[in-house]
Amino acid sequence: MAQRQITKPIEAKELPELTEQQQEFVRLRLAGKNATDAYRAAYDTSDMLPRTVWAEASRLNNNPDVAAWLAASREAHLGTAVLTLNGHMAELERLREIALKTGNIGAAVQAEQLRGKVAGHQVERIQEVPLDPVQTLKDIARDQPEVAATLAAQAGIPWADIDDSKRTLN
């Protein structure tokens, strides 16, 4: 597996200036469009062949100035990029590797556990513990003793167990 190099985040003042069309391309990429669709929306492609549009979109996407803006924006969590299973798994793997490199074994284990959950290998089970029915009926009896008495009778719970004041209902 290839190792990622951790780089220092780019400061906003260090970002290169972009043309209006490049800015629109970046905005559309951050909104979740692929490079070709973003290029079509930002530039006039009416007289271009589809393969030319694709090539120009790829070239623009890899332009150092545009790539710097995309990277900085994603680093700052701007945009509404679509989360995919593969992307999510890759990000968890990247975080695990960073945790291992920095000696944070707990974070690495947690990232690996999350990868297992996302992949469906681990299932989180939650057991619901039912409330004590007698206590529930006592709570109901404070406001609606008739309803509590009816529910107690239906459940086969003696009313004496519910009514702390030993009052009787007719």
For the segment 108-142, what is each residue's pLDDT rounded down to a tens digit? Answer: 999 998 888 888 887 777 777 667 888 888 888 88
For residue 6, being part of any structural domain is answered with: no
Nearest to 10 by CA among 95, 67, 87: 67
Per the structure, how many domains does the chain have? 3
pLDDT one-digit tens code per residue, 29-73: 888 889 999 999 999 999 999 999 999 999 999 999 999 998 888
Residues found in the chain = 170
Which has the higher per-residue pLDDT, 84 or 19? 19
Residues 56 and 99 in one domain: no
- Same-domain status, 69 and 92: no
Q: Give a yes or no: residue 102 inside a domain.
A: yes
Same domain, 57 and 18: yes
8 A C-beta contact, residue 24 and residue 43: no
The amino acid occupying position 161 is D
Q: To the nearest whole number, what is the mean pLDDT of the chain?
A: 83
Mean pLDDT calculated for residue range 14-25:
93
- Res 106 pLDDT > 60: yes
Decide if 124 is inside a domain: no
Could you tell me where the DSSP H helices lie in 15-84? 20-30, 35-42, 50-61, 64-75
Q: Is the model more confident about 160 or about 112?
A: 112
Residue 67 lies in a domain: yes
pTM for the model stands at: 0.43
Q: What is the pLDDT of residue 105?
A: 93
In a domain, 150, yes or no: yes
| Structural domain for 138, as ranges | 133-162
- In 3D space, the residue among 72, 70, 55 whose CA is nearest the CA of residue 22 turns out to be 70
CA distances from 79 to 6, 76, 85, 122 (A): 22, 9, 18, 31
Cβ atoms of 19 and 69 closer than 8 Å: no
16 is a domain residue: yes
* 89 and 68 fall within a common domain: no
pLDDT the model gives residue 128 = 75
Q: Are residues 71 and 89 in the same domain?
A: no
Q: Which of 115, 116, 98 is nearest to 107 (CA)?
A: 98
- Alpha-carbon separation of residue 170 from 152, 153, 161 (angstroms): 14, 13, 17
Quote the CA–CA distance of 55 and 73 in Å, as a whole number: 23
Q: Are 162 and 148 in contact (CB under 8 A)?
A: yes
Instruction: Provide the 10 A C-beta neighbour count for residue 105.
Output: 10
pLDDT exceeds 50 at position 170: no
- 90 and 71, same structural domain? no
Indicate whether 17 pLDDT > 90.
yes
The DSSP 8-state label assigned to residue 126 in this structure reads -
Task: Write down the pLDDT at residue 79.
Answer: 53
